[in-house]
Structure 1
């Protein structure tokens, strides 16, 4: 495949950086940073753009840092750990500005700076994981084109990572496992499966577990029982005994909204 040298000019939506080749051809390069000169190898070619693999950083950006996570560059859960936190915020702001101009036609949009998190690590309160074989869980890898098991996730809350490390879940038909910390700091989990019969589960740690079935109904496996009554979409569902974080709806029915996502639930009697 073709190998070329590029000057990286900007970040694209999805985490790749952009360089321009001969005749203005757009090249998307994961793991590069604006301002860098890089050597890349084209791995796929379209009419107006190409995807490339980063081979060498010839002139690194001063914003380049060592990623904290051992899975970074293979795991598809995050894209910016090779950049300083300040550079990450600037990149996200520029992506919003570019999307508004290029797709929405707002050429002079007043985009406010991205508000920084007080703590750039250990802030994520939800992990949506897929089965990686042998009872292990992980994230989809765009590099390996498969789900890879993960041992750590520095951007996620330590309680979630500890829970992940304690879980071995090898259910037939398992599609996803969502782990979440509720507003009341309760540990919550939701299992999405292909089967129609909810499995029997026991948890030896303090977590509430719900299941999402193919017919878009929900059932509690560990903790209080809830049933879907309306407005259901296949979202990252987590409900249980610590359900005082749920907000009651405006209708006459005793409904609640889950995480503000418009999911109508009703507690069974």
Structure 2
């Protein structure tokens, strides 16, 4: 049973910080416990005070940096660390990506009990700033807009964000709305097409008044429906030479440049052949499978987001691709297997044993797994192993530089058994 308490500041503990933990805090050891320290950097020597105390671990707050790490840098953001949307801004970028690879290895070994799996160096951004093609903002008590933070409760007002792509910043700069009945504001941009979209979520169906000279589309999220206010309730984005429609509430990677790298790596992992049937489980708008549809005999996809299903159909056009609307468990039951190759993009909470078993019965020779956070892979690994797959390699992707999140692609291969007959 954990206990919470505060040590007096003058009794601070001196600790050497060894590395970063999943979740964005630095780690050190003192008194036989692991200490998790926000805003620490690997190599820091710090004096801390305990803020949350448990038997084998504790959270601590930095009182003083006695010796700064050689990897510590000055954060360029004026809101850091008050806004904890970025957890790694104080760490040099080279060290950020090195730590993220180590976190992937740690999650696989400690949580999934997988040792010896090849984890490649993380694919990094050439420029780790101004990459976000989407952002969520919330009203502040002062009447402006801000970001919901990670380490502290509440909304931090901001006038700019250094992660916003210039097209997002352009929208944010011209926003002038009454926030009284606003619950949430989402900005989206096609960074390769120039499309811009504002999505309002309001109380009691309140429709905001917005005046701008920019060609920005606006939509109102009404829960089960999306109402177009100005223009169409979607954007288009171009990835690897193909255009994708992305509706207001459809999922899409937050970094278009990294999404292109991701497609190249996933293609190499799949190694598709012209006669293959490709399953895309959790297909979204079709980013993966529709990028490969000309290289296989056909695509069958599953998706439970109704807006993404419609986008998939539009994006597929006349291609040999179909989509089943339903959860992974429901949709996989409708797939007439077996399939030759599979893509799996699980929900945030991961999959369960039943979904893994259904994938196993479909018997793809290779399965490429994508998750926006390695924690999902660590959760799902046991189920996929039990279903007959072997983890061959993991490729970390720095989809969101300056944050603790690390996306992963993982190559799984089907263990050799007698192949089921095709129906």
Task: Tell me: higher relative CO, structure 1 or 2? Use CA pairs within 8 A at least 6 residues apart.
Answer: 2
Unpaired runs of at least 5, structure 2 = 1-5, 248-282, 289-302, 312-423
Say yes or no: does 1:132 pair with 2:140.
yes
Paired position in structure 1 for 2:245:
246
Change (3 A) 1:98 1:135: same
Paired position in structure 2 for 1:73:
81
Larger helix proportion of the pair: 2
Within 5 Å, which residues of 2 pair with 1:1-269? 1-2=6-7, 3-23=12-32, 25-142=33-150, 145-182=153-190, 183-195=192-204, 197=205, 199-204=207-212, 205-214=214-223, 216-224=224-232, 239=234, 245-246=244-245, 258=285, 260=287, 262=303, 263-265=305-307
1:60-81, Cα deviation, whole Å (9 max, x unpaired): 1111111010011111211111
Unpaired runs of at least 5, structure 1 = 226-238, 249-255
CA distance in 1, matches of 2:43, 2:284: 45
TM-score (norm. length: structure 1): 0.80
Change (3 A) 1:164 1:200: closer
SS of residue paired to 1:163: helix
Q: Following superposition, which runs of at least 4 residues in structure 1 exceed 3 angstroms of deviation?
A: 141-144, 200-203, 240-245, 256-267
Change (3 A) 1:30 1:241: closer
Q: Alpha carbon RMSD of aligned pairs, Å?
A: 2.7
TM-score (norm. length: structure 2): 0.53
SS of residue paired to 1:73: coil
CA distance in 2, matches of 1:258, 1:176: 23
State the number of aligned residues: 244
Change (3 A) 1:76 1:259: farther
CA distance in 2, matches of 1:220, 1:145: 33
> Once the 2 structures are TM-superposed, how far is the Cα of residue 221 of structure 1 from its aligned partner?
1.4
